[in-house]
Structure 1
Amino acid sequence: MMPAGGLVHSPVDEEKRRGVRRMKALATGLLVAVAVVYGLARWAQSQGAGAWAGYVAGAAEAGMVGALADWFAVTALFKRPMGLPIPHTAIIPTKKDQLGRSLGDFVGENFLSGEVIRERLRSVGIASRLGGWLAHPANADRVTAELATALRGALTVLRDSDVQAVVSEAITRRADAQEIAPGLGAMLQKVVADGGHRRVVDLVCVRAHDWLVEHGDSVMTAVTGGAPGWTPRFVDRKVGERVYKELLRFVSEMRDMPEHPARGAVDRFLGDFARDLQSDTDTRERVERLKSEVLGRGEVQDLIASAWGSVRAMVVAAAEDERSELRLRVRAGLLSLGARVAADERLRAKVDTWLEDAAVHVVTAYRDEITALITETIKGWDAEHTSRKIEAHIGRDLQFIRINGTVVGALAGLAIYTVSRLLGA
């Protein structure tokens, strides 16, 4: 149930209010009982009963006074006794906003201070507990499953078009902002120095030899087709065959001889190109123009954008599969982390310090907002409903105050009457 002001009254509140009403009836019944005893004692005293009647009347009279005083005090917290405009009554309804500010200040000063947060977290020993908890496989499985669910949810909420646009823009902007030629040159220089390009050269030589073997007629046709028209055809064919054989021999030797001069020429060319990429202004400018042209092509932009779809599908599939490499690695990492934290005191101290610093930062940065939330929330509550809700939660104990006041008042009255009689005697 949501009354005005946003204050929730639950079935639990209704049950507590019924308990308050029962205690009110008990406290009021005790007051009535004391009043009846007082009346009977006074009547007995007027009828010439023994001295006991005076003692009973004195105790009952003081009990009534105590009961009425505590009734007034308890009632004045929530409303005006008997509807009378008595000052300093109906304290909660009339002072609700001030109480809210005071409560916010109290929470801020005593619960949201950096010293309190650090002391409390240090006494709890979160790192030790967290490490021991994560070290259990069942708990690591649970955390892994929760992380997988959260990851799937996040990927489901994100719109592919938005993410693709962000990824494409980020890649393009970063590529435009950074010159790539020096980096490519340094990488190529290292590859050449380490001989990493030789396998590529080997592959090219093998593929070129196989292609020449398979397409010999095409090569000879291309050679003879470029010959002058006045040369005899058999001469053209002989020239074509000679060219083809020399070309095949050259490729075969280059394939089979690691120290072939042509390979050395390739090494020198790649080395010179690597240096030009790093130091030659003209070469670097050409590479930058080529980069801009490539990035500006629609096919490249589509490829960059579509990469997100592939990554998303791969991650979602891995998150859903309990035996996927992703989930297995996350689970193993959690177990390892838990075991390390549980066993390494220095690591526990670091984790505790990180948590304390993070908590203190959050509390310090948002303390005013938290206390303002308390103040503004209470300010928005309806005064009558606030009073009723508070009474539902603490009213039962307050009715015990009325009962105690009746009993204590009666005992005090009995003691006072007894002392008076003794002194009077």
Structure 2
Amino acid sequence: MERTYGDIDGAGTGGAADADTGGGRGPKAGGTRPAPGGGGPGGPLAFSAADQEKQRAVRRMKTLATGLLLAVALVYVLAKWAQSAGLGGWSGYVAAAAEAGMVGALADWFAVTALFRRPLGLPIPHTAIIPTKKDQLGHSLGEFVGENFLAGDVVRQRLRAVGIGSRLGVWLAEPAHVDRVTAELATAVRGALTVLRDADVQAVVGEAITRRADAQEIAPGLGTMLEKVVADGGHRRVVDLVCVRAHDWLTLHSDSVMDAVTGGAPGWTPRFVDRKVGDRVYRELLRFVTEMRDMPDHPARGAVDRFLADFARDLQSDTDTRARVERLKSEVLGRGEVQDLIASAWGSVRAMIVAAAEDERSELRLRARAAILSLGTRLATDERLQRKVDGWLEDAAVYVVTTYRGEITSLITETVAGWDAEHTSRKIEAHIGRDLQFIRINGTVVGALAGLLIYTLTHTVVG
């Protein structure tokens, strides 16, 4: 009897929770020997301290259920002895109740044990369900999750009930939360810029700028801009600057003008004549520049205005002028110095962004914080914006679950398939085995009551 009950319990009092696994050859449930296939420490199904505590609770409940079965068996033996000794009619009722209680306990023990192992190690069909049907259970679980949790309508209704837009707005309306978000964004920006290789980014930026410049004709745009500048008189300050600088240069370099004039004179002319001519040219040139500098209505200034206005129109409408500008643009962009300048711009931009991200008082951080705080305030109060944000999130979530449902459910199926069958059974039993032992206890109690009721009705009717 003791051997039978030890096998029935699967735990006994010595902790042999899996004594009947594989005909009594399996590892003890209370042990810590790692199961093959990833069941050891650190594996996908490693037993944690919480799992071990649950396993101990399962063993205690097994001991209690088995103890109740032993108690009922003892009551049955004593009741049958009392009945044979003629101690009274009550012994028949007690024996019937105890007998039915044992039957109920044994039936429920078989049902519970059959989930995790073969009862008594016997190859009974449809037993050891979890170890033998593990892969099918994983596939069914994946399908169940896909149909009931990853359905588009389910995801949309759940997200709509949560009201993420409103909650996000309330959360972002708090300055402390905004500071945290801003800091995290700054960290993310710094990390992203650190990971990027300068050479790769420079090549991309240079190629993008060059391609965009080649594809876009610049002459009409330049013509429109120049036309507006001339119409607004914006070029006059440039003319003023040129005149001032020309006057100053002529004042300081009169000898250079004289040398240029005399150097270009014929060799047969006398030297004093060359100097006279040079001096006259220099004085006239200085007078012209001085008058142009001091007279806003000087005719030469008007000529400059007309020239620029004509050039602006030619840039917009003259085919030859536009073609020349495009050729010049291509030549300038093709020069190595320009390409180096474009590529080196990335370094300056990155340094500027990193410095701004690290400085809590930088304009970038302050503007980002203000924008996030404003967004949070609007989200917290504007129902239309809340609905719009909720709609975006719902659409995105539905797209993900409907597009990648197969990949998500296959993760469940493949993960379960990769688990060791024996270790999976032990893991599941540690989590739900304690509740299953109540089935054995309830079976004992309900069986005893049913047996007592049947015995009573039988003797009442027959009697």
Fold shared per TM-score above 0.5: yes
TM-superposed CA distance for 1:3, in Å, is 5.5
Q: 2:164 aligns with which of 123, 126, 135?
A: 126
- The separation in 2 between residues aligned to 1:383 and 1:82, in whole angstroms, is 19
Give the secondary structure class of the aligned counterpart of 1:85. coil
Query: Which residue matches 1:322?
Result: 360
Give ranges in structure 1 of 5+ residues lacking alignment: none
Of the structure 1 ranges 278-287 and 210-219, higher mean CA displacement relative to structure 2 is found in 210-219
Structure with the bigger RCO (C-alpha within 8 Å, sep 6+) is 1
1:342 to 2:373 alignment: no
Change (3 A) 1:263 1:19: farther
Query: Which residue matches 1:309?
Result: 347
Verify the 8 A CA contact 2:35 2:423 in the aligned structure 1.
Answer: no
Change (3 A) 1:42 1:258: farther
- Post-superposition CA distance 1:136-165 (Å, at most 9, x none): 000000001111111111111111111111
Q: When you count helix as a share of all residues, which structure comes out higher? A: 1
Change (3 A) 1:196 1:79: farther
The residue identity in structure 1 corresponding to 2:37 is: A
The residue identity in structure 2 corresponding to 1:186 is: T
Query: Which residue matches 2:289?
Result: 251
The residue identity in structure 2 corresponding to 1:383 is: A
- The separation in 2 between residues aligned to 1:347 and 1:2, in whole angstroms, is 54
TM-superposed CA distance for 1:2, in Å, is 9.3
1:261 to 2:303 alignment: no
TM-score of the superposed pair, with normalisation by structure 2: 0.86
Query: Which residue matches 1:111?
Result: 149
Query: Which residue matches 1:409?
Result: 447
TM-superposed CA distance for 1:303, in Å, is 1.2
- The separation in 2 between residues aligned to 1:253 and 1:32, in whole angstroms, is 126
Query: Which residue matches 1:101?
Result: 139
Give the secondary structure class of the aligned counterpart of 2:404. helix
Change (3 A) 1:40 1:295: same
Give the secondary structure class of the aligned counterpart of 1:196. coil
Change (3 A) 1:238 1:31: farther
- Post-superposition CA distance 1:10-35 (Å, at most 9, x none): 41323322222222222222222222
Change (3 A) 1:97 1:243: same
TM-superposed CA distance for 1:133, in Å, is 0.6
- Post-superposition CA distance 1:355-388 (Å, at most 9, x none): 1111112222211221222222222222222222
Query: Which residue matches 1:166?
Result: 204
Q: 2:53 aligns with which of 9, 15, 30?
A: 15
- The separation in 2 between residues aligned to 1:404 and 1:261, in whole angstroms, is 115
1:91 to 2:124 alignment: no
Q: 1:4 aligns with which of 34, 37, 44?
A: 37
TM-superposed CA distance for 1:126, in Å, is 0.7
Q: 1:215 aligns with which of 253, 259, 272?
A: 253
Verify the 8 A CA contact 1:7 1:386 in the aligned structure 2.
Answer: no
Query: Which residue matches 2:430?
Result: 392
Of the structure 1 ranges 157-166 and 264-273, higher mean CA displacement relative to structure 2 is found in 264-273
Verify the 8 A CA contact 2:262 2:275 in the aligned structure 1.
Answer: yes
Change (3 A) 1:40 1:219: farther
Verify the 8 A CA contact 1:181 1:277 in the aligned structure 2.
Answer: yes
Change (3 A) 1:160 1:395: same
- The separation in 2 between residues aligned to 1:244 and 1:199, in whole angstroms, is 25
Of the structure 1 ranges 268-277 and 292-301, higher mean CA displacement relative to structure 2 is found in 268-277
Q: How many residues align?
A: 425
TM-score of the superposed pair, with normalisation by structure 1: 0.93
The residue identity in structure 2 corresponding to 1:7 is: P
- The separation in 1 between residues aligned to 2:141 and 2:291, in whole angstroms, is 91
Q: 2:278 aligns with which of 233, 237, 240?
A: 240
Percent identity over the alignment is 82
Give ranges in structure 2 of 5+ residues lacking alignment: 1-33
